[in-house]
Structure 1
Amino acid sequence: MRSNSWLGRRMFIAVVLVFVLVISACSSGGGNSPSTSNGGTTPRATNDKPDDTNKEPAGNSGEGSGPIVELTVWDAPKPEDPQKSLTEEVFSEFEKQNPNIKVTHELMPQGTNDREVFVTAMAGGNGPDAYHAAHFPIIGDWVGQGLALDLTSYWDSYADKDQFIESSLQAGTIDGKVYGFPNDMYVTGLLWNKKLFEAAGLDRNTPPANWDEVISFGKKLTNTDKKQYALTLLGMEWADWWFEYYVWQAGGDLTELQADGTVKLTFTDEPTVQALQYYKDLKWTHKIVQNNVLQSYQDNMNDLFQGRAAMTNGASGSFGEYAANGLDLNDLGFAPYPAGPSGKGPSQIGGAYWILNPKSSKEKQDAAWKYVTYMMSKEVREKYYQFQMDNGIFPNLLSVRKDVDPGQYTTNVPQDLIDGVTKAAAEARLEYYLKERLTPYVVKAVQQALTEEKSDVKVLLQKAQEAAQKEVIDAYNASVK
């Protein structure tokens, strides 16, 4: 999901949109559930050591009296949220445990883009004290803009800090400082229809292991008479989201973050060129992808649901969506991506962080930290998973907490799907640095390669790099020097 996700872009839209993507993807609704639900001046750090009470993940017992600290948090559940009753119960329990903290829960203000709404509100001094949807690809920019508090002193004193999986902290830790508290997370991988594999004479439980097998399997899985094809490509306005996986498989990336904080573009490096040529060949030479390579993400998903596409990209938080659209989970496989020339097929991790407002008072920041640790405590996370299990809501199969196992709350999920998610998460990467700003340049090159058979991928990537360097990177690098 492109967080910048399978979360800002509404990719892998699950039955319960509490885990927000793709990525565009990202819902502005309450991010309290563990289900389906990266220039400038560095913000000031909190140098005061938090109270010992911050070590309790589920909040205080409610004892004591003192001044009321009022918080505004953009995490109110939407009216249609099936978990609304539980969320309100969780809110009420926090108030009982912390009578000196009054939290006003609000929905994000209306706007065309949740990230723009947040940045605009912060610039105008109207931002929340805590926000749950700082997505993996954008948090670095927000830290540079002074929109996220340095949480390092809080984190160092947090009793449960070792209970969060290491990869969940990667994007939110910048220059050795913690700015993001993990809220939710997903991992991507190859998703395939086992029934279509079997019908094509392939082992239903064995996905392609490398690029060559993608082609050989793909030719067997493509049947024009049945309007069936092997593999979905993403060529619409999020094209760089899936394309970057192929660059990783070729051994590269689209940008390199330098030691001094500047960014180097690598659009014209050999792995990127090799990846785009392969991507193009899947369409024009091997003809194993959909005819309309510019069709929407949802149309890609519809092709999967209706048995036209045999393979696509999947995410750990989207199996509920697949089941809701008529797919039998026993007939789906999930695994790490096929290896490219690098010999590897790393998956992508995405998700969102809680961040605190650096302009809030110290009292509010302390209270907000207490609230966030409560919401992400083992007890509260397990309440959500239990509620989902009791109410037929499919969970995200990847938890940010090591001590909360989603597998214990799923009774109808094949073990091989859970194992596939775990295996994919073992070797995963963040989306490329400055993706939010560079997407249009990469997308243009990918789209031309997919729609112009005679195009030269090296020329396309050279043009994209020159434009991105001039219009984005030069100014960005100047701002961080």
Structure 2
Amino acid sequence: MMTEPAHRPVGRRTGTRRTGLAAIGAALLMAVSLTACGSGSGEGGSTDGRTEITVAGMPPTTLPAGRKDFLAQVRAFEKANPDIRIKPTDALWDAKTFPARLASGQLETVFRVPLTYPPDMIERHRIADLSKEIKALPHGTEFDKRLLAPVTDSDGKVYGIPTEVYSVGLVYNRELFGRAGLDPDKPPATWEELRTAARTIADRTGVPGFGMHTTDNTGGWMLTTMTYSYGGRMEKEAEGRQVTAFRDGPTGRALALLKAMRWDDGSMGKQQLRGTDDLTRDFAGGKVAMLLGSPSTYGAHVAKFRGRPGVYGQAPLPSEGEKSTLLGGGVAVVSPKADRAQRRAAAKWIDFFYLRPKYDPALAAERTARAAADKNPAGVPGLPFYDAKVSGPATAAEREHSNVPLKNFTPYLNSLGTTRYVVEPPVAAQELYAALDSAVQAVLTRESADPDEELAKADRRIGPALERSQR
């Protein structure tokens, strides 16, 4: 049940359709994958005795370098596994067309979905149980169990393999902290500490201390993240269906905090209608000192908006009571049409293509060095997929070639072992985020706006979408 922390198993519930998408995480991390494949989606196999599977993720012809590298990986895999034939596909993920294609069964053997999709797909038997196949992988029994929770059912069966994950934390400007007399090595750990730091920075530097996402569903997305850190959830189960839960208290506290920072403290500036790119651009330009974001924000800060590497700081999400944050990303799953041989082949491919750099020191070093040579951000810290004994050597090898100021990520990295990950709302997440955008915008643009009233309006707006999603 998605009202529970993400490390708890997902229970089966009849008639519940989860349609949430990882908002920004999907945009950043899911530049992949779903395509129709007809008979290639599982049944049969090749006629030459080899097991044939179709796989998603091949870059389109407009990205020739990436496509060339992908095909080289396919050849290397087939050489290492001569009994398996890979048929790659290059259609991209499309949230609008995916439900119909899923329902028709016209997907490849291996495809990727946002981390919010598997629970519903498990309930509707639309993806294969990979428990045995995962255990047979080189480090299949050493995954961080928190990352497998969204693809694990109440019986402990595992139906997918994460391919990339992120957790939301606090991005902050170390230079502005120093100018305001704050210690950049001790970022705020609670929301009250963040409020104090934001006010101090605004008063002493004239730069807004904190910026909040508000547009394109990002306001609701980040309000959800804040709610998790207060111990709340956005939806809960009632009589076998998901209903809203954001009027229960924690969301109201988060919204009230934003209102107080905006109007009582004057620490958020005047510009309040911004999405992820807007905020990251302002952060890179030194126009805002703190915002919510994952370590991947560093890449946009440096490469897209030309921000200085040394000013970037990454901390865990501030919390009040429960050290929790939003977990997002992508997961590779397998068609239920796949026979046993195809499931084994699919798991091997997922391990070969997606997982090896997370446990193979030589490959981790090679890929990081290549990215650094190309002048791209290389070795940006992320969530380890495995126990420390497995992830540690690969991480160490990666950091030898990193061009990232790793010490600036220390607060975030030190928090990973004790943070609870919670996935996004299980039903109609994007519609919920859109409704909550209006609530966030209201309290930041109208001093008279009442947080409780705005949440009530959002609750009424999201109701029809929740009903449609669970018919």
CA contact (8 A) 2:167 2:421 kept: no
The within-5 A match list for 1:396-415 is: 396-398=380-382, 399-402=384-387, 403-404=390-391, 405-410=394-399, 411-415=402-406
Partner SS state of residue 162, structure 1: coil
- Among 269, 274, 296, the alignment partner of 1:295 is 274
Partner SS state of residue 7, structure 1: helix
Per-residue deviation, residues 284-319 of structure 1 (Å, max 9, x unmatched):
322222423222221100001111111112313343
- Among 166, 179, 185, the alignment partner of 1:205 is 185
Alpha-carbon RMSD across the aligned residues, in angstroms, is 3.0
Per-residue deviation, residues 195-217 of structure 1 (Å, max 9, x unmatched):
11111222222212322222222
**Match of residue 69 from structure 1:** 51
Work out the CA distance in 2 between the residues paired with 1:219 and 1:201: 12
CA-CA distance at 1:83 after TM superposition: 5.2
Work out the CA distance in 2 between the residues paired with 1:188 and 1:169: 18
Structure 1 runs (4+) greater than 6 angstroms displaced: none
CA-CA distance at 1:129 after TM superposition: 1.0
CA contact (8 A) 2:129 2:158 kept: yes
**Match of residue 420 from structure 1:** 411
Q: Is 1:115 aligned to 2:95, yes or no?
A: yes
Specify whether residues 231 and 419 from structure 1 end up closer, same or farther in structure 2 by C-alpha distance, changes over 3 A only. Answer: same
Work out the CA distance in 2 between the residues paired with 1:388 and 1:157: 27
CA contact (8 A) 1:407 1:418 kept: no
Specify whether residues 314 and 459 from structure 1 end up closer, same or farther in structure 2 by C-alpha distance, changes over 3 A only. Answer: closer
Work out the CA distance in 2 between the residues paired with 1:203 and 1:380: 33
Larger mean CA deviation between 162-171 and 82-91 belongs to 82-91
Q: Is 1:378 aligned to 2:356, yes or no?
A: yes
**Match of residue 333 from structure 1:** 313
Work out the CA distance in 1 between the residues paired with 2:263 and 2:190: 19
The within-5 A match list for 1:4-153 is: 4-10=22-28, 20=29, 26-28=30-32, 67-78=49-60, 79-80=62-63, 84-109=67-92, 114-131=94-111, 133-153=112-132
CA contact (8 A) 1:3 1:351 kept: no
CA contact (8 A) 1:255 1:264 kept: yes
Larger mean CA deviation between 293-302 and 377-386 belongs to 377-386
Q: What TM-score, normalized to structure 2?
A: 0.80
CA contact (8 A) 2:128 2:338 kept: no
**Match of residue 347 from structure 2:** 369
Specify whether residues 194 and 213 from structure 1 end up closer, same or farther in structure 2 by C-alpha distance, changes over 3 A only. Answer: same
**Match of residue 439 from structure 1:** 433
CA contact (8 A) 2:164 2:329 kept: yes
Work out the CA distance in 1 between the residues paired with 2:329 and 2:349: 20
Work out the CA distance in 2 between the residues paired with 1:220 and 1:208: 12
**Match of residue 395 from structure 1:** 379
Work out the CA distance in 2 between the residues paired with 1:266 and 1:417: 36
CA contact (8 A) 2:281 2:301 kept: no
What are structure 1's unaligned runs of at least 5 residues? 11-19, 21-25, 31-45, 47-64
Work out the CA distance in 2 between the residues paired with 1:439 and 1:9: 15
Work out the CA distance in 2 between the residues paired with 1:266 and 1:279: 20
Equivalent residue letter for 1:409:
E
Higher helix share: 2
Q: What TM-score, normalized to structure 1?
A: 0.78
Partner SS state of residue 53, structure 2: strand
Work out the CA distance in 2 between the residues paired with 1:215 and 1:418: 21
Specify whether residues 179 and 316 from structure 1 end up closer, same or farther in structure 2 by C-alpha distance, changes over 3 A only. Answer: same
Aligned residue pair count: 421
Counting aligned pairs with the same residue, the percent is 21
Work out the CA distance in 2 between the residues paired with 1:87 and 1:73: 11
Partner SS state of residue 129, structure 2: coil
CA contact (8 A) 2:135 2:141 kept: no
CA contact (8 A) 1:136 1:171 kept: yes
Specify whether residues 385 and 241 from structure 1 end up closer, same or farther in structure 2 by C-alpha distance, changes over 3 A only. Answer: farther
CA contact (8 A) 1:188 1:424 kept: no
The within-5 A match list for 1:315-354 is: 315-324=294-303, 325-340=305-320, 342=321, 344-354=322-332
Larger mean CA deviation between 299-308 and 453-462 belongs to 453-462
Work out the CA distance in 2 between the residues paired with 1:292 and 1:273: 22
CA contact (8 A) 1:86 1:384 kept: no
**Match of residue 185 from structure 1:** 165
CA-CA distance at 1:397 after TM superposition: 1.6
Per-residue deviation, residues 386-415 of structure 1 (Å, max 9, x unmatched):
223234141342232342333421244344
CA contact (8 A) 1:69 1:363 kept: yes
